[in-house]
């Protein structure tokens, strides 16, 4: 064990002790709806501590990874200490809990130590840390990186600037490569085989595509991931055989319609209704933030099928709405019986290419056999949706890692070439500190994403998926901000890719579970169920 790794282990053990006591306090005195500030901090820090543990577990692979583990653990300890001071009683512990690790924290925050880490980052061209992939997955990474470099990167900035549609060349290429079937069981035309690492392929592909562009490629897997998971787990055998092979092949593109104008994270309160009328369900309501709803052939719609709104989330079901694929920012469909569905894209500051729509259903008829699970699926929509969101949160964390990796590479390259006061920007200590810390955040999130993928595949990943999503998405905002700052005025110009990465990263903490909702309603509640910290 290297000196850096032994120090990192000591810090992580101290951090886990603090989070363990905080979790026990949450378990002993569950927070009320009005008590949010401290539970949010505890939840957020538990995510960082869990990532620290997973990065430490990779430390034995190399001295470079041991150094990154020490850096990230020390930064996490400093953050935790700042949140703990003055609120010790509310956390159920004291700041002295970190006293035994102070020497190690100081070593991990020493400017000369960060300087040495920055040397490696610059020598590696901004690559944060290896993924420790099997030969098969390394081939997958190389294949999709080559595709992203050749087909996505050349058009990514233009798609963003002009808010264009994703080109058919990208969609067709990814279909041919099997991109949309990565998490669909092999028996239905996908590539998932049920092994411990079955989700790692999806993580690797997502990271590489997001490294090129979040809006033009990296997010294309998310909707097939959500709808495919819901159908595989909750659909009938006939539905699985009808829909999944066409999703896996890319023949049918997908969108998801859950959020409503007045009901975002409060899914249980949605008002879109589906009323049975003979052989159809009649759908009425407005959905918003339906990404890719124009190009999609299948929309997974969460609707209220129980007439009593007091049933809340227990009265919701999932329907697959089949529609033509439309390019552009507007679409309008009329049914023979008088029903209609319309979509209007919402202008956004980033995450462009896929377009996010507001969709209005007016007496739109859906065949009864398009309700996921048929009679057994009635009232199960919320639960199926939440199960699917665990996979989507993992995929979003991978998207964040890809965006961060791209930002670090651009920052390292620009800093090496940019002269300031007669010296390269990389010769200044603060620049090097920024690059080192950026690399540590990426390495921690990459390690945690791989661990969460295995936990989800094993059927026990609800907490890990929420934690890694929350951490990686917040980290992406910070990393892209630092990368933009290192570009100076150029970072604010649209002609520089880093400006796109910065605005794209901002959406990550909002969708697939907003940061605050994940912290309070998923992570804090899971921590309160017995004091588990999620680090193992």
- For the segment 403-420, what is each residue's pLDDT rounded down to a tens digit? 999 999 999 999 999 988
State the average pLDDT over residues 117-125.
94
**SS3 sequence, 47-61?**
HHHHHHHHHHHHHHH
> Does the annotation mark 16 as catalytic?
no
Catalytic residue among 198, 358, 482, 512: 512
Q: Which residue has the tokens 């951090």?
A: 15
Tokens of 18: 């603090």
- Mean pLDDT (the chain, rounded): 93
Of 260-269, 274-283, 421-430, the range with the lowest mean pLDDT is 260-269
**What does the radius of gyration of the chain's CA atoms come to, in whole angstroms?**
23
State the average pLDDT over residues 97-118.
96
- For the segment 510-520, what is each residue's pLDDT rounded down to a tens digit? 988 899 999 99
The C-alpha torsion from 396 through 401 and 404 to 408, rounded to 10°, is -170
Triad 526, 531, 453: Cα angle to 5°:
50
- For the segment 463-481, what is each residue's pLDDT rounded down to a tens digit? 999 999 999 999 999 999 9
- For the segment 355-402, what is each residue's pLDDT rounded down to a tens digit? 999 999 999 999 999 999 999 999 999 998 888 888 889 999 999 999
Q: Beta partners for 117?
A: none
The model's pTM is 0.94
Q: Which residue has the tokens 């949160």?
A: 393
- DSSP summary character for residue 252: S
With beta carbons less than 8 A apart as the criterion, state whether 77 and 49 touch: no
Q: What are phi and psi of 251, to 5 degrees?
A: -65, -35
Judge whether residue 531 has pLDDT over 50: no
């Amino acid at each position: 064990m290297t000196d850096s790794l032994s120090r990192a282990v000591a810090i992580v053990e101290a951090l886990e002790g603090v989070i363990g006591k905080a979790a026990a306090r949450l378990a002993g005195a569950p927070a009320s709806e009005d008590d949010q500030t401290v539970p949010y901090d505890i939840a957020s820090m538990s995510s960082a501590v869990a990532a620290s543990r997973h990065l430490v577990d990779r430390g034995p692979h190399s001295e470079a990874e041991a150094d990154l583990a020490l850096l990230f653990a020390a930064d996490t300890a400093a953050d935790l200490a700042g949140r703990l001071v003055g609120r010790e009683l509310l956390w159920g512990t004291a700041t002295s809990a970190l006293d035994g690790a102070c020497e190690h924290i100081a070593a991990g925050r020493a400017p000369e130590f960060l300087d040495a880490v920055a040397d490696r980052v610059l020598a590696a061209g901004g690559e944060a840390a290896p993924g420790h992939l099997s030969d098969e997955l390394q081939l997958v990474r190389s294949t999709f990186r080559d595709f992203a470099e050749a087909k996505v990167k050349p058009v990514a900035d233009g798609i963003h600037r002009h808010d264009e549609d994703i080109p058919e060349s990208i969609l067709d290429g990814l279909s041919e490569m099997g991109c949309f079937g990565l998490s669909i069981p092999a028996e239905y035309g996908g590539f998932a085989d049920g092994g411990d690492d079955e989700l790692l392929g999806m993580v690797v592909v997502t990271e590489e595509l997001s490294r090129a562009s979040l809006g033009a490629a990296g997010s294309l897997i998310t909707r097939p991931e959500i709808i495919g998971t819901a159908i595989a787990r909750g659909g009938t055998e006939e539905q699985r055989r009808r829909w999944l092979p066409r999703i896996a092949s890319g023949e049918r593109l997908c969108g998801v319609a859950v959020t409503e104008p007045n009901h975002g994270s409060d899914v249980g309160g949605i008002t879109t209704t589906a009323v049975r009328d003979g052989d159809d369900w009649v759908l009425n309501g407005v959905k918003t933030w339906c990404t890719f709803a124009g190009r999609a052939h299948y929309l997974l719609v969460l609707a209220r099928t129980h007439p009593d709104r007091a049933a809340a989330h227990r009265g919701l079901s999932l329907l697959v709405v089949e529609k033509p694929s439309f390019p552009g920012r507007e679409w309008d469909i009329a049914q023979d019986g008088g029903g209609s569905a319309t979509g209007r894209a919402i202008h956004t500051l980033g995450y462009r290419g896929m377009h996010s729509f507001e969709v209005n259903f007016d007496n739109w008829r859906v065949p009864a056999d398009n309700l996921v699970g048929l009679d057994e699926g009635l009232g199960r929509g919320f639960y199926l949706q939440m199960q699917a969101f665990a996979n989507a949160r993992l995929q979003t964390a991978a998207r964040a890692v890809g965006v961060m990796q791209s930002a670090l590479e651009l920052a390292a390259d620009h800093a090496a070439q940019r002269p300031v006061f007669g010296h390269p920007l990389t010769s200044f200590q603060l620049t090097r500190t920024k690059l080192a810390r950026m690399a540590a955040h990426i390495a921690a999130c990459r390690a945690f994403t791989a661990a969460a993928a295995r936990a989800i595949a094993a059927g026990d990943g609800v907490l890990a998926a929420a934690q890694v999503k929350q951490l990686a998405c917040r980290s992406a905002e910070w990393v892209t901000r630092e990368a933009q700052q290192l570009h100076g005025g150029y970072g604010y110009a649209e002609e520089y890719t880093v400006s796109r990465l910065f605005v794209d990263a901002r959406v990550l903490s909002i969708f697939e579970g907003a940061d605050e909702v994940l912290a309070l309603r998923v992570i804090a509640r899971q921590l309160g169920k017995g004091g588990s910290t999620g680090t193992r």
